[in-house]
Amino acid sequence: MAATGASWKTLLDGKTAVVTGGASGIGRATAIALARQGAETVVADTRTDPRGGGEPTHELIEQETESSATHVDCDMTDPAQVTAAVETAAEDDGLDVFVNNAGIVHPEDYDLDPEGVDRIVAVNMKGYFYGARAAATAMDNGSIVNVASVEALAGNGMRPLYGATRAAVRQLTFSLADRFAPAIRVNSVLPGLVDTQMTRSDVPLVDDNGGADALEGATPLSRPARPEEIARPILFLASDLASYVTGADLLVDGGLTRTE
C-alpha cells in the first residue's frame, strides 16, 4: 500500500504481523490495533490469558475485528520457538510486521542472583535479536518495531540491568536498520510509564487508581500512558505512513525525558 492517500481504516490490509508478548499490556493493545487496521496477527507469548484476566488477545481480535488471529506459545529466549512463531505467520504470504515487545522487569535488579540476571538479559536483549533475525528471513519488505523504554536514555539506579538491556535494544535497532535496508525498516519506540498490570503488580509503579505520584510531577502530561497510547505509535511505524522512517527512536513518554 502506498503511503500517499493511505486510509486510516485500512493501513495494514493484506499484511501479516507478529506481536511478541501480545497477551497483555502494550503487546495486547498493539495486536488489537494492528488487527483493527487489517493485519492478520500472530500473538506470540508464553501465556494465553492476559495478566489481570479477560479474553485471550487472539480470541478478542476475532470477536471484535474482521481480521484473523492466532496464539503461539513462544519463549523469546529460545530461537527455535521464535522461528516457529514467525513461520506460523509467514506460511501463506510471508511476514510484513514484527513487533518485538516481550520483556521482563524487576523492581530492583541490582542484587539479582546470576540466574535472574541471565533471564533479564536473555529476554530483553537476546530475545529481541532472535526475533528480528527470524523476522527478517520471512520478509521481502516489512517493518520491525522494537519496544524499548525511556530508561534506555535516562537510566534508573533501582534497575541498572533493565536500563542496560533497553539501551542495547536501541543499539540493535540502529545496527539492524543499516543491515536490513532498504527492504526492511527497523525502528524503536521508547515508552515512559505505562499503566499495565505489570507496572501495577510486578514493579509496581502505578497504583490502583492509575496514578504514579513519584513521576507525575516530572511528566508534563501528569499521568501514565494507557497501553493504547503506545500501540498507536507502533502502528504508525509498522505502516506505510512511516515508509521513509528507519533507524529512529520514537519517544512516547508524556514529555518525561524532556524535563530531566
Residue 216 domain-assigned (yes or no): no
- How far is the CA of 69 from the CAs of 28, 61, 172, in angstroms? 12, 6, 28
To the nearest 10°, report the CA torsion of 130, 144, 253, 106: -10
Report which DSSP code applies to 225: B
Identify the CATH number of the domain in which residue 177 sits: 3.40.50.720
Compute the residue count for the chain.
260
Q: Looking at the chain, which runs of residues are DSSP E strands?
A: 16-20, 40-45, 69-73, 97-100, 142-147, 184-191, 249-252
Would you state the pLDDT for residue 130?
Answer: 98
Number of domains in the chain: 1
Residues of the chain whose pLDDT is less than 50? 1-8
Would you state the pLDDT for residue 5?
Answer: 46
Q: Let me know if 130 is a catalytic residue.
A: no
Would you state the pLDDT for residue 60?
Answer: 96
Q: Which domain holds residue 125?
A: 16-192+228-259
Report the C-alpha gap between 25 and 219 in whole angstroms.
21
Residue 24 domain-assigned (yes or no): yes
- The SS3 assignment for 41 reads strand
Exposed / middle / buried, residue 44 (Cβ in 10 Å: 0-12, 13-18, 19+): buried
Would you state the pLDDT for residue 209?
Answer: 57
pLDDT in tens, 205-257: 655 555 555 555 677 887 888 999 999 999 999 999 999 999 999 999 988 88
Catalytic residue chosen out of the listed positions 110, 128, 130, 162: 162
